[in-house]
Structure 1
Amino acid sequence: MRTWITGGQVYIAGHMENTGLVLKDGKVEGFCSSPAPGEKDQVYDAAGAYVVPGFIDIHTHGGFGIDVNAACKDDFETIGHFFATQGTTSWLCSILTDTQEQTTKCIEEALAHMGDHKNCASLMGIHLEGPFLSSEYKGAMPEYLLKTPDLALVEKYQQAAQGNIRYMTVSPEVAGVPKAIPDIKALGIAVAIGHSGADYETAWRCIRNGAVAGTHVMNAMKLMHQHFPGIMGALLESDAYCEAICDGRHLHPGTVRFLIKVKGMDRMVAITDSIMAAGLPDGNYKLGVNDVIVTDGDAKLKDGTRAGSTLTTGQALKNVIRFTGKTLAQVLPMFTINPAKVVGADRKVGSLEPGKDGDVVILDQKFSVKDTFIKGEKIIKRR
């Protein structure tokens, strides 16, 4: 059975085309402007809408009342359904630095959910945010940080995850981190640098050794000085990808424009860094072991330190278009193929090429999410 998505403008190879999209057996089969559905086929009328690849969030700590660090198997399904309604079709769960026991438990619960993607976004794997991070730039991280990289511990976590840790954030200035990056990569983990005040040379050592991205750039990070460019200068100068939280709080709209101007759209990755409060009203929440207060949608610790966001990918897309004045087609790589490339998933997701997963988002003329398809199946929204 096929699903024919007809009547919309489809994002293909960097631009929008008036054609139809055909999904079959959970995959993109191809494009057809003159559909000829069979008797058992389904037809989705996307007239007046945009048909784009599903969004990929590689850095999020939860949403809709669920904190990743405290989540059980069923909780991951709850998060995944909420994300799917916001346009996210694939995601990594970001485990905040925690005790070894709790980190292992969270890995096991995430693993139990992986592969069970009925009516929810696909959990592609795990992002470890720490524990090899600078205490000076820990942001909302609890004090479970390690002062040297423990490769045996990373290997233990990766074994528990059955190879599904896809991404890890480390601080370059932690003694031994630059040298450890090739070993972390050898375990199948893409490495990002962040939570850091590292100098320029140390940051560049990490990038040359294989670090592919910067974690929520300009946040929990020493900023660039004309005489001491530091980690920010290295990330801007290099070809490393830059994660950006585009909620208008973590980065000023002008800063978003600046980053895109310097890095180019093909090296920018939109993330939410969302916490359990995403999709819910202001109030008191958790981020790992920390208490978080959300006021006017802004999540902070009691001492005023910003603690993740309440952002969704759907809102981030509209923000980036509004901040930059760029077209939908121009900004989509930040939400689709770029994050897929960071974690090595671009052969499976990130575009509407034939053979890739049938992950599709339908956007209205104001770029709001109307419907989401994951592996060819339309997400049924809960009341």
Structure 2
Amino acid sequence: MISIINAKIITPFRVIENGYVSIENGRIVNVQDSDKWPKGDANHQIVDAQGLYLSPGFIDIHIHGGGGSDFMDNEVDAYLNIAETHARYGTTAMLPTTLTSEQDLLLETFEVYAKSLDKNEKGAKFYGLHLEGPYFAMEQRGAQDPRYIRNPEPAEYEPILSKYKHLIARWSAAPELPGALAFGQRVCEEGILLALAHTDAVYDEVLKGVEAGYKLATHLYSGMSGMTRRNAYRYAGAIESCLLIDDIDVEIIADGTHLPEPFLKLISKVKAKNQIILITDAMRAAGTDVTESILGGRANGLPVVVEDGVAKLPDRKSFAGSVATADRLIRTMRDIAGLELKDAVHMLTVNPARILGLQHQIGTISKGLQADLILFDENIQIQKTMVEGCFIYEK
């Protein structure tokens, strides 16, 4: 048994001062609002948090890379490096995310991901792939490679669902494309989270998407249509629609650059606290100090520059993924968006766990749940990371 004592324990409702948490066999067995801490012995390790915050581990449901690696490198070592890199910044669970690519490369990704699952012992755990594309609106492609953007066709996605559905946690697509509603219904039938992304949809098209199962907005504002005019009439774009429709949850790249202060405050004001999910959307340069990098796989990715705390295409006309780590998201939401710490943490723990259907396994510090925990200081500097009851990182 391990007990972490003298901690400020972050729950969905409050911060418990001077409490303690006990862990046994990888699970939380006790959470106490008490300064009468247990005593250690040969079978009971005591970890003194020394007043640090004890939080559920961060859950990143949209992440491409870090530490110099990208999931599209299609190498097991790349997967492990990314998982270990982000564990140092508090991430204990993640969805490895693809980019729009040729189909052969995507099929290879499934095989590499499956091989990485049993070898990931020192990093954030994988909870399924996030397929970002290739079914996107060309005009909202952002840094997605236009060579591989296409409409959904059953001849392509049905074999993928048939063979690899157990490896897919979520799929992002544009709901207004020909065939996208039927595609969405099939994805939902398989229990896969469906998200709208890189879309030029207007309000009526978004509504039809919601009816078909699109219930999460992938990186709100990024790769999305705003208010547009057709024949002089104004139409709400995907951005306004996602803010307005209560049945859509939103994920945001909360690095303070993709969405500066006014946007973060607007989203926090309009959407309920339990409808906002923080993501890094990190690419391979996250956790490094490089100034040039590659978005996507090394063999056929796009060159990017890294400056001002973000990755950009070389012409500076578009961002090309973030270089944020999860700790930065919490600092941004607290210090720039003005949220309470517990609410910012909620958006990177409780909310992603719930939308993935994992709320009875991870995401809160509660008896019976998996012991994925982190300790950090007032500046959200991670001191220790625990996954399934084992410390995998200690500063």
Q: TM-score, normalised by structure 1?
A: 0.95
1:347 matched to which residue of 2?
360
Contact (CA 8 Å) 1:299, 1:306: kept in 2 or not? yes
Is the contact between residue 6 and residue 44 of structure 1 (CA under 8 Å) also seen in structure 2?
Answer: yes
Q: After superposition, what is the alpha-carbon deviation per residue over 1:3-33, rounded to whole angstroms, capped at 9, x for unaligned? A: 1010011122421113101111111112133
Mapped to 2, the partners of 1:356 and 1:159 lie a distance apart of 31
Residues 1:108 and 2:127 are matched in the alignment: no
How far does the alpha carbon of each residue in 1:298-354 deviate from its partner, in whole angstroms, 9 at most, with x for none?
Answer: 211123221001000011111110012222112211100111122222221111122
| Code of the aligned partner of 1:9 | K
1:151–1:41 CA distance, 2 compared to 1 (3 A): farther
Question: Structure 1 residues 333, 201: CA separation in 2 closer, same or farther (over 3 Å shift)?
Answer: same
Is the contact made by 1:121 and 1:374 (CA closer than 8 Å) also made in structure 2? Answer: yes
Partner of 2:350: 337
Q: Please give the root-mean-square deviation of Cα atoms over the aligned residues, in Å.
A: 1.7
What stretches of structure 2 of length at least 5 have no aligned partner? Answer: none
- CA apart distance, 1:172: 1.6
CA contact (8 A) 1:63 1:276 kept: yes
Q: Which of 65, 69, 80 is the aligned partner of 1:66?
A: 69
Cα distance in 2, alignment partners of residues 41 and 157 from structure 1? 47
Using a 3 Å threshold, how does the CA distance of structure 1 residues 313 and 380 change in structure 2: closer, same or farther? closer
Residues 102 and 148 of structure 2 are in contact (CA less than 8 Å); yes or no, is this contact kept in structure 1?
A: no
Q: Identify the residue that residue 393 of structure 2 maps to in structure 1.
A: 380
Residue aligned with 1:95, SS: coil
Shift in alpha-carbon separation, 1:112–1:162, aligned structure 2, 3 A: farther
Q: CA deviation at 1:144?
A: 4.1
C-alpha contact 1:165 1:188 (8 A) present in aligned 2: no
Residue identity in the other structure for 2:171: M
Q: 1:354 to 1:152 in 2, by over 3 A?
A: farther
CA shift at 1:154, angstroms?
Answer: 2.9
Q: Which residue of 2 aligns with 1:301?
A: 313
Q: How many Å separate the matches in 2 of 1:155 and 1:369?
A: 42
How has the CA–CA distance of structure 1 residues 224 and 342 changed in structure 2, closer, same or farther, with 3 Å as cutoff? farther
Question: Which amino acid in 1 is paired with 2:22?
Answer: V
User: CA offset at residue 68 of structure 1?
Assistant: 1.1
Deviation at 1:71, TM superposition (A): 3.4
- Structure 2 counterpart of 1:339, one-letter code: P
> Of residues 260, 277, 282 in structure 1, which corresponds to 2:285?
277
Determine the structure 2 residue equivalent to 1:30: 30
CA distance change for structure 1 residues 264 and 224 in 2, over 3 Å: closer, same or farther? Answer: farther
* Cα distance change on mapping 1:162 and 1:197 into 2, 3 Å: closer
Cα shift at 1:365: 2.2
Task: Letter of the 2:324 partner, please give it.
Answer: L
What does 1:111-130 align with in structure 2 at a 5 Å threshold?
A: 111-130=114-133
1:272 deviation in Å? Answer: 0.5
Query: Alpha-carbon deviation of 1:98?
Result: 0.6
Name the CA distance, whole Å, in 1 between partners of 2:154 and 2:97. 19
> Hey, what does 2:6 align to over in structure 1?
7
Give the partner amino acid of 1:231: A
Alpha-carbon separation, structure 2, partners of 1:359 and 1:145: 37
Describe the superposition over 1:170-215 as per-residue Cα deviations: whole angstroms up to 9, x where unpaired: 0022112123212111122101101011111001111122112101
Does the 8 A contact of 1:184 with 1:191 survive in 2? Answer: yes
Q: Secondary structure of 1:308's partner?
A: strand
Give me the whole-angstrom Cα distance separating, in 1, the residues matched to 2:307 and 2:290. Answer: 5
Distance 1:94 1:216, change over 3 A: same
Could you tell me how far apart the structure 2 residues matched to 1:62 and 1:55 are? Answer: 16
Contact 2:12 2:342 in 1 (8 A): no
Q: In structure 1, the residue corresponding to 2:314 is in which secondary structure?
A: coil
Q: In 2, distance between residues paired with 1:178 and 1:158? A: 16
Does the CA-based 8 Å contact 1:104-1:160 persist in structure 2? no
User: What does 1:167-246 align with in structure 2 at a 5 Å threshold?
Assistant: 167-224=170-227, 227-239=234-246, 240-246=248-254
Offset of residue 282 of structure 1: 3.2
Secondary structure, in 3 states, of the residue corresponding to 1:321?
helix
| Count of aligned positions | 381
| Aligned-residue offset at 1:374 | 0.6
Give, in whole Å, the separation in 2 of the partners of 1:111 and 1:162: 12
Gaps of 5+ in 1: none
Task: Give the partner amino acid of 2:55.
Answer: V
Matched ranges for 1:31-180 at <5 A: 31-32=31-32, 33=34, 34-161=37-164, 163-180=166-183
Deviations 1:98-134, CA, capped at 9 Å, x for gaps: 1111111122111111143312110111000001111
Deviations 1:263-319 (A, max 9, x none): 021110100111000011132211122111112332111232210010000111111
Provide the residue aligned with 1:20 in structure 2.
Answer: 20
